[in-house]
Structure 1
Amino acid sequence: MKKILVVEDSSIVMKVLKHVLSNSDIFQPVYATSFAEAKSLVEGKAEEFFAGLIDLNLPDAPNGEVVDYTLKNGIPTIVLTGSFDEDRRAGLLAKGIVDYVTKEGRFSYEYALSVLERLIKNQDIKILVVDDSDTARRFIATLLRIHLYQVLEASDGVQAIKLLLDNPDVRLLITDFNMPRMDGCELVKNIRHKYEKTDLVIIGLSSEGERSLSARFIKNGANDFLRKPFQHEEFYCRVSHNVEFIELIESIRDMVNRDDLTGVYNRKYFYQHGFSLLEDAQQKSAPTSIAVIDVDSFRLVNEDYGNEVGDGVLKGIADELSALIAQAHFTLARTGSNEFSFVMPGLDAEKALSFTEKVRQILCSSAINVGEYQIPVSCSAGVSTSSSEDLDSLVKNARECLQRAKEAGGGFVLGED
């Protein structure tokens, strides 16, 4: 859980904040009602705090001293204030606060919570900033780092393309127009040969006076355009909007790849992703193993308890398998009605058999709880290993091993002879 410093002297506002934060299971709020109390909590322990929700005016800090203190200690700060003041807001944003929230009702506090949640997600978002002006580039990079984004910088389009190739996990690119060697529109056009709009978001920037420049950027493949100079909050809103667009697309893609009943990956994804893993391992001359695990006599579960309980057993097995397979960073999928498969890149036959047997033992060590029932399960598995065969052959061999295990009575793992 992320520790959050909450400083607020109003008992009514504090009550609302506590209620809003109580609905979150990712934050551990630590409360203070004065500047002195906040300092006692932070002194020597600033690195423990992920962020702060800080009241701008306190009895012992009427001029925002507590905000200066949290910023000085490197705590990302969301300011809470009872009244909106344009000059004060601009000054605080220039100092490097994350956001400025006016206490106007419950929605304001829920918005502040959403900003905190956004900060957590931002830590996994990598953004590339492209601008030949060191001052302009560093300014934008600083704004992004305040919101905890990972930031890469390039001084022109050629360097930007090299950085993209070295960092395929970049999710958003922000580029100026007027640059040497390759202007922003040319950069966008070149990037779109490799990256779709749903894979890499591009925001164009320019202070040029040409009114059609925004259209040029968009027509060449940019997702958005922002004219300089811009307001901090406008910049953050555009970035957040586009990042959330990417996340929405990824969420939809992930849903398509998931099994409706169990939530693990489906057969289609298993073959698509498994092929890539196998190809990568073969290029490195490394072995790849496939395990196919199946519930013994699952038909009897449906006959004795009904299909709804049977579905519950499969969900329970999938949850247990997911936890076990995730620890090893392998890929798990439901590949049959009561069959699950996982790919183990880099594991030879002996290690793959040992790992799969441990998984089977843990899976079968306790009953699956489904409503009022506790259903004991027995599982069998087959394992196939190769450094040269294709995925279909590996899966076929693993299923043959599984079948032999079942014919021998079940309840164990069998590999290739």
Structure 2
Amino acid sequence: MKTILVVEDSAIVMKVLRHVLARSAQINPIYAKTFAEAKQIVARGDHVFFAALVDLTLPDAPDGEVVDYTLGLKLPTIVLTGSFDNQRREKLLAKGIVDYVTKEGRFSYQYALGVLHRLIKNQQVKVLVVEDSSTQRKFISTLLKLHLYDVIDADDGVNAIKALLANPDIKILITDYNMPRMDGFELVKTIRGKYEKTDLVIIGLSSDEDGSLSARFIKNGANDFLRKPFNHEEFFCRINHNVEFIELIEQVRDAANRDDLTGCYNRKYFFEQGSSIRDRSAQNESPLSVAVIDLDNFKSINDRYGHEIGNFVIQRVADSLSTSFDRFLLARAGGQEFFALLPGLNNEKAVAFVDRIREIVASSPQRLGAEEASITFSAGVSSLLGDSIDDMLFSAGACLHRAKDTGGDIVIGDDDSE
């Protein structure tokens, strides 16, 4: 959760802001009614602020002094104002504010909230700027950094490809047309040989007066085109629209890999990723363990309390497992069974890790109808790579059967099952 400094003197606007911002689970707004109060809040040092949402004209700061103050604190700043003034807008944008929002109704405040959410997300979005002019490259990079994008730059198409290879998580590439060694068209065509439009957004730029450039860029594989010089707000609208497109595609893909009941990865995804991880471990001779986890006596829970309570138990246990296995690959295999892949852990360490999770789950009683009961699980853990991920799961399954035979609520590893 990010802490936001909100400064607004109007009681009505403050009431609307409180209502709108309270709907976000991502931000923690700290409110001030005056410039003096805002400075006092900052001076106390009780909060580490992520950004600021401020009124342009306050009783004790009528000329936008609060904007200069928050910018001086290096806080991304969104300005609220009662009226639109193009000259004032240009002056504020030149100072380096993130955005300028006119108080014209609830949508305006919802838009401001959307900008705050975008700033939070942007920290994880890597953008490559390809421009041979150092002045233009710096200008575009600076604009993107105002919105907290993670920016990398390159001075031509050849270096852009090198940057992509070194940073495969780049989401957006912004490229000029006229560049030495490899121009924008050649760069786009080369990149599209490896990256789909849904994996990497490419936005073409040019100051050339040729009206066909936009069509040529898009025909060569670009997602969008923007003519220089461009309006700041149009630039960010295009960037935001395209990054939200990428995020939507990622959400759809992720949903296809998730179990509907628990939100854990599904069996299909586990086998796809697990096979690759297992092969890399075999090639690198690095330790790898797999765990097969099964809830104890789950059939009796379903029989006694019904499937609705049974599903609730699976969801709660899945939440606990997801938290505990957050740095590993966890999937719901089906029913009350889960798979977990633990790269870097040998059998002894993996058994100890899974056993600690078993203790955590057992120590958190679940409500079953009008009663409370501890939910336990048994697990088998194997580090025998075999010839495939199926072989690993077979070995872990044999360990799990041994654990069940001993009465359950126990973790058995390779050595224990001999």
Work out whether the TM-score is over 0.5.
Answer: yes
| Range with bigger deviation, 360-369 or 262-271 | 360-369
Partner of 1:35: 35
Q: Is the 8 A contact 1:46 1:75 kept in 2?
A: no
| Range with bigger deviation, 23-32 or 185-194 | 23-32
- The whole-number CA distance in structure 1 between the counterparts of 2:410 and 2:76 is 53
**Matched residue of 2:197: which SS?**
coil
**Matched residue of 1:199: which SS?**
coil
Question: Structure 1 residue 191 and structure 2 residue 213: aligned?
Answer: no
Aligned partner letter, 2:289 = S
Q: How do 1:376-387 and structure 2 match up within 5 A?
A: 376-387=374-385
Question: Structure 1 residue 216 and structure 2 residue 226: aligned?
Answer: no
Q: Kindly tell me: are residues 85 and 376 of structure 1, through their superposed partners in 2, closer, same or farther at Cα, counting changes over 3 Å?
A: same
Partner of 2:3: 3
- The whole-number CA distance in structure 1 between the counterparts of 2:371 and 2:192 is 55
**Matched residue of 2:325: which SS?**
helix
Q: Is the 8 A contact 2:305 2:369 kept in 1?
A: no
Partner of 1:332: 330
Q: Kindly tell me: are residues 12 and 250 of structure 1, through their superposed partners in 2, closer, same or farther at Cα, counting changes over 3 Å?
A: same
* Shift of residue 40, structure 1, vs aligned partner: 2.7
Per-residue deviation, residues 301-335 of structure 1 (Å, max 9, x unmatched):
11111111111111111111111111xx0110011
Aligned partner letter, 1:52 = A
Per-residue deviation, residues 208-266 of structure 1 (Å, max 9, x unmatched):
11111111111111111111111000000000000000100010011000001111000
| Range with bigger deviation, 360-369 or 177-186 | 360-369
Partner of 2:398: 400
Q: How do 1:223-242 and structure 2 match up within 5 A?
A: 223-242=223-242
Question: Structure 1 residue 77 and structure 2 residue 77: aligned?
Answer: yes
Q: Is the 8 A contact 2:198 2:249 kept in 1?
A: yes
**Matched residue of 2:195: which SS?**
coil
* Shift of residue 362, structure 1, vs aligned partner: 1.7
Aligned partner letter, 1:36 = A
Q: Is the 8 A contact 1:287 1:387 kept in 2?
A: no
| Range with bigger deviation, 183-192 or 352-361 | 352-361
Partner of 1:316: 316
| Range with bigger deviation, 181-190 or 309-318 | 309-318
**Matched residue of 1:61: which SS?**
coil
* Shift of residue 43, structure 1, vs aligned partner: 4.3
State percent identity of aligned pairs.
61
Q: Is the 8 A contact 1:6 1:31 kept in 2?
A: yes
Per-residue deviation, residues 50-90 of structure 1 (Å, max 9, x unmatched):
11111111222222122122112211110100000111111
Q: Kindly tell me: are residues 373 and 235 of structure 1, through their superposed partners in 2, closer, same or farther at Cα, counting changes over 3 Å?
A: farther
Q: Is the 8 A contact 2:386 2:392 kept in 1?
A: no
- The whole-number CA distance in structure 2 between the counterparts of 1:383 and 1:315 is 22
Q: How do 1:257-406 and structure 2 match up within 5 A?
A: 257-326=257-326, 329-370=327-368, 372-387=370-385, 389-406=387-404
Aligned partner letter, 2:85 = D
Per-residue deviation, residues 112-134 of structure 1 (Å, max 9, x unmatched):
11111111011111100000000
Aligned partner letter, 1:386 = L
Q: Is the 8 A contact 1:313 1:375 kept in 2?
A: no
**Matched residue of 1:132: which SS?**
coil
Q: Is the 8 A contact 1:383 1:398 kept in 2?
A: yes
* Shift of residue 273, structure 1, vs aligned partner: 1.1
Runs of 4+ deviating beyond 6 Å = none
- The whole-number CA distance in structure 2 between the counterparts of 1:274 and 1:131 is 40
- TM-score, structure 2 normalization: 0.96
**Matched residue of 2:108: which SS?**
helix
* Shift of residue 168, structure 1, vs aligned partner: 0.9
**Matched residue of 1:193: which SS?**
coil
Q: Is the 8 A contact 2:305 2:368 kept in 1?
A: no
Q: How many residues get paired? A: 415
- The whole-number CA distance in structure 2 between the counterparts of 1:322 and 1:130 is 39
Q: Which runs of 5+ in 1 are unaligned?
A: none
* Shift of residue 373, structure 1, vs aligned partner: 4.1
- The whole-number CA distance in structure 2 between the counterparts of 1:43 and 1:411 is 53
Q: Which runs of 5+ in 2 are unaligned?
A: none
- The whole-number CA distance in structure 1 between the counterparts of 2:27 and 2:128 is 29
* Shift of residue 190, structure 1, vs aligned partner: 0.7
- The whole-number CA distance in structure 2 between the counterparts of 1:83 and 1:144 is 26
- The whole-number CA distance in structure 1 between the counterparts of 2:280 and 2:209 is 49
Q: Is the 8 A contact 2:3 2:47 kept in 1?
A: no
Aligned partner letter, 1:206 = S
**Matched residue of 1:304: which SS?**
helix
**Matched residue of 2:262: which SS?**
coil
- The whole-number CA distance in structure 2 between the counterparts of 1:191 and 1:44 is 51
- TM-score, structure 1 normalization: 0.96
- The whole-number CA distance in structure 1 between the counterparts of 2:120 and 2:215 is 34
- The whole-number CA distance in structure 2 between the counterparts of 1:394 and 1:54 is 57
- The whole-number CA distance in structure 1 between the counterparts of 2:334 and 2:4 is 45
Match of 1:410 among 401, 408, 416: 408
- The whole-number CA distance in structure 1 between the counterparts of 2:370 and 2:254 is 32
- The whole-number CA distance in structure 2 between the counterparts of 1:184 and 1:403 is 60
- The whole-number CA distance in structure 2 between the counterparts of 1:296 and 1:42 is 52
